[in-house]
Amino acid sequence: MNSELEIPKELVGMESRLEKLKFLMCTGSNDVRTIGIWGMGGLGKTTLARVVYDLMSHEFDGSSFLADVRERCDKEGSVISLQKQLLSDLLMLADNSIRNVYDGVNMIGSRLRHKKVLLLIDDVADVEQLRGLFGKRDWFGLGSMIIITTRDEHLLKLHRVEEVYKLEALNFDEAFRLFCLKAFDTYKPLEEYLELAKCFVKYASGLPLAVDVLVSFLFGRPVDQWRSTQERLKRDPENKILGILQISFDGLKEAEKNIFLDVACFYKWENRDYVSKILDSCGFDPIIGISVLIEKSLLTVRENDRLWMHDLLQEMGQQIVRRQSPDEPGRRSRLWEEADVSHVLSQNTVSE
């Protein structure tokens, strides 16, 4: 491990998780090791993978972190651009001769056999994606390490990944520390907030994403608003996580809600300026609106100034729109799925 690098302070419970992962990395065969990090959305798989990658990449001849595999494949329709990134990261090969997935498979499968690499394949949803990036263990040299993060354990089994690390949720103490650090900038809350803070931590069920979103909503609010938020969560104990996410949405102004729903339905991964121009023409005041959503952890700006939101948040946004009219898409405020659009056009069911 790179002793000069440290685990970022804002990450809690990382050391013990790293230890467990390191243990699994040492077991198994010692030619090419394969490890899956598995857990639900928002649990911290990518965060853990980044830490491991930063700490370990110097131990290999080359390393590559392939991020957002699921989303990139959905958007681009194949793994070709990821194959190109892999080759460029590991061989400095800016090769554009890959015309299809098979070209990529052949090239990766033949050129890296003698190289000890660290390959991180983040957020894989389909075994085909995996096969295009890492078909067989002998594609890579002795001592290579392939780490895959996914929400789907079955996929790891299907691809014969040797070790699976089931990432645990944060325990109460860890989640409490994370909550306090984010809400009060210290590990100890003010006395009047203490019981409420404990209650919210329980609701977040150890999911770091839920802690993030909840704290962004509560931050700086007076204690009586914390109390009324808690009352709301008590009324809907069934669906804690979605309840937490929805509280943040409900606390938005009308224009901000519209921007959130538009991004959830249409503009994830689109350029911020481009989206701002469109939303501006709808009268939503996007410059302020987008900044508010970012502050509330409902929206993030990723590379190349593109707007991104977590899947669970996107799912919540789309659910909100579907619930406007569960059975008849023509009465919803937004249509983004082909089947719904074609239903509305063919049946002429659109209404005001």
Ligand X SMILES: Nc1ncnc2c1ncn2[C@@H]1O[C@H](COP(=O)(O)OP(=O)(O)OP(=O)(O)O)[C@@H](O)[C@H]1O
Phi-psi region of 129 (alpha: psi -120 to 50; beta: other; left: phi over 0): alpha
13 touches, from ligand X, Mg ion, none (C-beta below 5 to 8 Å by class): ligand X
Using CB under 6 A as the binding rule, whether residue 212 contacts ligand X is answered as: yes
Q: Which of 21, 32, 35, 43 binds ligand X (CB under 6 A)?
A: 43
Closest CA to 148 of 171, 164, 167, 136: 164
Binding mask 151-180 for ligand X (x = CB under 6 A): x--------------------------x--
Considering only the stretches 22-30, 37-45, 155-163, 194-202, report the one whose residues sit in contact with ligand X under the rule CB under 6 A: 37-45
Selected binder of Mg ion within 11, 18, 25, 46 (CB under 5 A): 46
- Give the nearest distance from C-beta 53 to Mg ion in angstroms: 13
Whole-angstrom Cα distance, residue 209 to residue 316?
Answer: 14
Check: CB of residue 200 under 8 Å from CB of residue 214. yes
How many C-beta neighbours within 10 Å does residue 203 have?
21
Closer CB to ligand X, residue 33 or residue 45? 45
Segment contacting ligand X by CB under 6 A, of 43-51, 75-83, 98-106, 223-231: 43-51
Instruction: Please compute Rg for the chain using Cα positions.
Output: 22
User: Taking the complex as a whole, how short is the minimal distance between the CB of residue 310 and ligand X, in angstroms?
Assistant: 6
Nearer Cβ to Mg ion (46/230): 46
Length of the chain: 352
Give the binding range for ligand X (CB under 6 A) out of 45-53, 124-132, 275-283, 344-352: 45-53
| Paired strand residues for 131 | none
Which residues ranging from 122 to 141 are in contact with Mg ion (CB under 5 A)? 123
Asked if 46 touches ligand X (CB under 6 A), the answer is yes
Does 42 help bind ligand X (rule: CB under 6 A)?
yes
Q: From residue 284, how far is each of 250, 274, 275, 323 by CA, in Å?
A: 17, 14, 11, 22
User: And the tokens for 255?
Assistant: 């224009």
Number of amino acids touching Mg ion (CB under 5 A):
2
What is the spatial distance between Cα 351 and Cα 330, in angstroms, rounded to a whole number? 6
Among 33, 45, 268, 334, binds ligand X (CB under 6 A): 45
Tell me: does residue 73 bind ligand X (CB under 6 A). no
Q: How far is CA 161 from the centre of its chain?
A: 22
For residue 107, the tally of other CB atoms under 10 A from its CB is 19
271 secondary structure, DSSP code: B
Residues lying near Mg ion in the complex (CB under 5 A) are found at: 46, 123
